[in-house]
Structure 1
């Protein structure tokens, strides 16, 4: 387009005039005289779930001119949210002509601050908490908003009205999956058939699921409106059930459940038997090398002879002390699903020579202490058995014979010495067999000693070292019983006589007291009362003397 010279000059003239008068126009216009101030919400877009709460804050911005007062009515979208609380904490305003207060779906406030007021891009006025009521979207707005300048005239310098968008959503919770056959997702089960069930949350329109092994094999899927599913004869391994829940608002959730199956026993294994301290070591070690797929070995159960099982999670176990002889074991390797494989075997503990019982009583009275003599290792402890039951133990070094104590040449625990021991326990009448073993300081046990027999006689009894025939003891007890009975009869008779005598005296006393009371009824003078008291006292004294006899 071609612009002629006259036109060009006219345009240039108009632009020059406009530029000249623009500062004056700005100065005298309302915008030029008073800079703009605004309210704004933070956050400007609020998201909250139904039944849950969130906090919104109101700020003021006055970047070019000082302000010293602000007020407004905050209006909430009452269909979607409600006000829960309001707070002045951290507010720019220090004085309040109207404290922030909730009234239905509104929050009204008015306040100020002293000169020089506030200039800045953002200062907090108040904060309020809202709760989601209904799914949807609404606006938080301001009514009757004012921001007054610190100019001595209370000029309202607000420009525009702040809003905040509120989006209220429904909390979507996926279905919760359970299993009656495989309840714990972290545990293994030797069950191939699977039962699963789940709940139906509000607003659900349907479900879909996939079920496959952890590596993705053996998968199957389906859409369903049911809340359960069954799967039969599934292979060993880790399976994952993934459930997708569809809601009427178009949302979906995903829930998963893990199934662990192991129906196979552990692989065959061997048991290694070790005695680190040689064939007499009473604390042997058993070591197992079991393996298992897919769940793995959980524990070992070891049964020695007929004793209670020992449980170990380690592949090696040190057994408790074993006595000399042949022992039989059963070792079960148990996997995490409860399947097991067992190995049976036996081992031998070699015992060193046992003690020797050299002297013992053949015939013993009832309750009589039993004194034994014998030979054993100086550093050993001897355990005494009667009829196969352990009844006592003693340290050889503390029970040396006097002769042995005097002739002891060294403290070598392996030397054989002579001992003496007195057993003071009760042994019932009859024939009994005694034997002993000796235990070294390392816990190893010897073979049995020689067995000896003795009889506890019932025809006599030991009382404090005195041997009394049983027949004599019976006679003594009968005599004591007769004497005790006679004493009881005598005491009974004496007591009865004393009671009769006491009752008689009380009756006499009662008669005399009655006589004195009759006389007092006729003569109540002081002299008569004194004489009656004297006679009653004499009667009581007479009764007391009779009782003392």
Structure 2
């Protein structure tokens, strides 16, 4: 008995040591996680929307999830995949799908502390029932990795879903028959309906619309909804609507952040509460003014201005600054608004506009006048008032040291011909010879200067000069400069003279020929008429001789008188026509 009592402590210590050694070498057992489709079942009619979510439930933190699913593309058409509300915030493979192959793939990571809990949303998938039959959505591959620094795969189960799709029922005149009621779609752990807004889609942005519209997709067999809008992010909805509604517009909300809460009841009970945040700001930023710390009249070509304002609701997002009628020069962030350097400005009078925008796009503007005075313009010490053709205009003067001097050349009508520039030396002296050759005429030039800061003077009054020709040298220069024109003009004159001389010679030849022909014609006519007259005279003489022997008949006497008269008249006409021929 005593011996037994003495051995008992030794045996207990040995058993404890063995137990500790066994426990030390036992492998670590990772917690389990489940990837599943929710809802897992339901009955739909052809044409109805079937909305499901891919969810994760895990009792330890997980930070990576991936999956490949197949769906019945003969009974379902996939419309869209949404990442809204997902605990995944970095996608190594964006969710993709193929209706032709009936597949869905995704892979993402939850950066930070990961996710743990029940019913964490990965993606939301929207199908549309297209044909009667059984529609299955099942996992072909899935992986959930623990947030343990080693990427341990803690996937325990991957559960799909099966839906029944039937033809759309059309009520007829027959007596209603009892119909089999499909079992309601059970609510998965932590299931909540996704809320969307067509007027305020981004829960992080501010909007100037104070009447938001919310909408959601009701699950199968939805009987009732409860809603509430307040400023508490975790409130329970209290306003009930039965039958269930699928949208809600809330009008004339005050500025600030509000939360829309939604809960849906099906035959399986109430869903988890869903929340949606809206940020509303309808008020403008506070009024402000523009300050010129160095005065509103300045010789600085790039003056500093100061401005600042606040917005009590959403805060100032940025400022726009512009000078005169130009567009905005810069969208300045609020942190840069005080002070702000304007761009380089020429001398003149300007209106400066500053507009402050808040996060919702509301704006408040301020404006103020600014005058930029010009620096002293250059002093001209030497220039020629008269130039001859071929000379260059050489100008000397003084101004600020190491400054840029511009010379603008104008014609007599005030049209600018050319602008050239030069740099003054360290003493402020400058000299420039314009490269433009000038024709005879009246001209003028002006000057202005830009110093090393960018400050500019106004343009000086025009200084006149003239360009003239010398008698011989300038004429030779003129001919040299315009040689081609002179040659063409000379050839034209030579051609005209040649044609003229040829014409004169030809006219002289024609005149001589004409004189000869006219003279010959005149002689021929006179000889022919004389011969004719002689023959006629013989006939008249015979008639007179016959008259002595016998009395002439009455016809013969009439013929003799007419014939003598006509012969005299013909002789007179021929003589007059010959005399009318001009003497060439």
TM-score bucket of the superposed structures, by smaller chain:
0.3 to 0.5
Which structure is larger by alpha-carbon Rg, 1 or 2? 2
Normalised by the length of structure 2, the TM-score is: 0.45
